[in-house]
Amino acid sequence: MRRTEDETMKKTEGNSFYCKLNSRQDITLPHTVRRTLLIEPGVLITVGLVPGTTSIFIKKDIGSLVDNKMVVSENGSIRIPSEITKRAGFCKGDRFRIHVKEKDGLILLHKLEM
- pLDDT single digits (tens) 74-103: 999 999 999 999 999 999 999 999 999 988
pLDDT band at 68 (very low <50, low <70, confident <90, very high): confident
pTM of this structure: 0.81
Q: Give the chain's mean pLDDT.
A: 86
Other C-beta atoms closer than 10 Å to the C-beta of 49 total: 19
Distances (CA, A) of 107 to 75, 83, 97: 17, 19, 10
Cα–Cα dist 3/92, whole Å:
34
CA–CA dist 96, 37 (Å, integer)? 18
| CATH number for domain 18-111, candidates 3.20.20.70, 3.90.1560.10, 3.40.30.10, 3.40.1550.20 | 3.40.1550.20
Size of the chain, expressed as the number of residues it contains: 114
Question: Of the candidates 114, 91, 70, which has an alpha carbon nearest to the alpha carbon of residue 25?
Answer: 91
